[in-house]
Amino acid sequence: MENRPLEYDYTVAKMFMWTTIITGIVGMSVGVLIAFELAYPGVNTIFGHTIAQYTAFGRLRPVHTNAVIYGFTVSGVFATWYYVGQRVLKVSMAESKFLMFIGKLQFWLYLVVVVFGIASLIMGWTTSREYAEMQWPVVLGVTVVWVLWGISIFGLIGIRREKSLYISIWYYIATFLGIAMLYLFNNAEIPTILATDPAGQSMIGSWMQSISMYSGTNSAMVQWWFGHNAVAFAFTVPIIAMIYYFLPKESGQAVYSYKLSLLSFWGLMFVYLWAGGHHLLFSTVPDWVQTMGSVFSVVLILPSWGSAINMLLTMKGEWKQVADSPLIKFMILASTFYMFSTLEGPILAIKSVNAIAHFTNWIPGHVHDGTLGWVAFMIMAGLYHMAPRLFKRELYSKSIMAAQFWIQTLGVVLYFTSMWIAGITQGLMWRAQDQYGNLAYSFVDVVRDLHPYYTIRGVGGALYLIGFLMFSYNIVKTITTGRRVEESELQNASPMAA
């Protein structure tokens, strides 16, 4: 192995960093807008009645979910991969013209797909399957982007100098394989022009509109096998890959236990795939599928907490760093929120709890303590660590980072606490009966009672967005005005040589 430090090529990492920031701003702004639309429906018409159809909740909700999942989160995964991958494999992208070409091609195609996908949702062009709303031309584009990423992962692994594969690489590989499998199965669809009705007659359709190959209960099962595992392989597995790299690097501490990291890895891989049934409790899917979903969800606490505890214990004896460094604070709070949402999830999967929580605001509450507290915190922490090294500039402002941390933490807390109260209120009011067995409340009573909580959620979301804008400003200023530094000057006391 060479002694001279490698010159890594971060061109593609930088490109994906920009899309992470831009899609983050777009996705979160739309999130705040729809949060206020739920609290004050008139908000939709402030842009005028002509464009109200494009800004209606029904149009913008999938714009929000797709922008934050396939835009912000997936861009963050790609950006960190093109940084972490080279460093832990000890190989530079510059060493292979082919891989460099693939990386750039992946980026430009991804950009086209994201812009086209979001525009198509604003136009109301949707399959109406949650998280799989895109029509088949977009699905094809996503598939090619994913294949290119696969070539890049395995290509880099193929020419690596470091023989052993650090745990983060395992998690990136699992992300690639998991999503590839789920996405292809769930998006099996045909253009409506080729579809036939049950009597075998062809339907009048379009080449651009597609219809799923599954229907009824089968469709629900495939959809939630996909939907739940999208949570696993987009919101969990690659984020663990990030924390296993960035926390030890930033703190200079060795990972607490490699054995525990492997045990949790295989535990997650095995258990996650069976838990999707918890989205379909009390539905038409077979009872054993529902029970299996519940049971596997409860078991899922073990591997989830295995990773989270491993992270917390990595800071053993070094807790002072948590107090001193806002960046370490982000990562430690992220793993705490990961523990939190992976305790809440199994509780929600218990049938009697789900009977109250399902269809209520508790579910978006659960979603956002996971995504805001764990996923987005960790992606921002990763980019904060990377930016000075990518651009060889000192971080512009540590105090902006510290202020942002507290503003966003307050935002997450307001978001999930208001949604918990709203959800439980909603669940209990729907089932309350008077002494004659009639429903005690009308639907409108429930909506009226939820109004204050919707407002609080909107405020929490707005705080989170403000924090994200501060983050973006801090990164831009770092790149444009930060003091020039060599990497050796940046704190980099990690036991890993990469």
Binding residues for ligand HEM, per CB under 6 A?
28, 31-32, 34-35, 38, 61, 64-65, 68, 72-73, 130, 227, 231, 235-236, 275, 278-279, 297, 300-301, 304, 341-342, 345-346, 348-349, 354, 357-358, 363-364, 366-368, 370-372, 374-376, 461, 464-465
Query: Would you say 12 or 339 has its CB closer to ligand HEM?
Result: 339
| Cβ neighbours, 10 Å, residue 437 | 6
Query: Would you say 103 or 346 has its CB closer to ligand HEM?
Result: 346
Query: Would you say 89 or 367 has its CB closer to ligand HEM?
Result: 367
- The first and second tokens of residue 342, run together, are 């992976």
Least distance (Å) between residue 491 CB and ligand HEM:
28
- How far apart are alpha carbons 309 and 267 in whole angstroms? 14
Least distance (Å) between residue 429 CB and ligand HEM:
16
Least distance (Å) between residue 73 CB and ligand HEM:
5
Residue 23, φ and ψ in degrees, nearest 5 = -70, -30
Query: Would you say 103 or 277 has its CB closer to ligand HEM?
Result: 277
Least distance (Å) between residue 95 CB and ligand HEM:
34
Query: Would you say 55 or 96 has its CB closer to ligand HEM?
Result: 55
Query: Would you say 219 or 494 has its CB closer to ligand HEM?
Result: 219
- The first and second tokens of residue 202, run together, are 């062809």
Q: Within 194-325, where are the H helices?
A: 216-235, 237-251, 258-272, 287-299, 301-314, 320-324
Least distance (Å) between residue 404 CB and ligand HEM:
13
Query: Would you say 341 or 478 has its CB closer to ligand HEM?
Result: 341
- How far apart are alpha carbons 66 and 71 in whole angstroms? 7
Is residue 242 within 8 Å of 379, Cβ to Cβ? yes
Helix (H, G, I), strand (E, B) or coil at 351: helix
- The first and second tokens of residue 3, run together, are 């002694």
**CA nearest neighbour of 34 among 368, 406, 430, 379:** 368
**CA nearest neighbour of 171 among 238, 233, 84:** 238
- How far apart are alpha carbons 175 and 261 in whole angstroms? 16
- How far apart are alpha carbons 348 and 463 in whole angstroms? 27
Q: If you ran DSSP here, which 8-state letter would residue 439 be given?
A: B
- How far apart are alpha carbons 210 and 456 in whole angstroms? 39
Query: Would you say 364 or 482 has its CB closer to ligand HEM?
Result: 364
Widest Cα–Cα separation across the chain: 82
In the chain, the amino acid numbered 465 is L
Least distance (Å) between residue 301 CB and ligand HEM:
6
Query: Would you say 99 or 142 has its CB closer to ligand HEM?
Result: 142
Least distance (Å) between residue 415 CB and ligand HEM:
7
| Cβ neighbours, 10 Å, residue 157 | 16
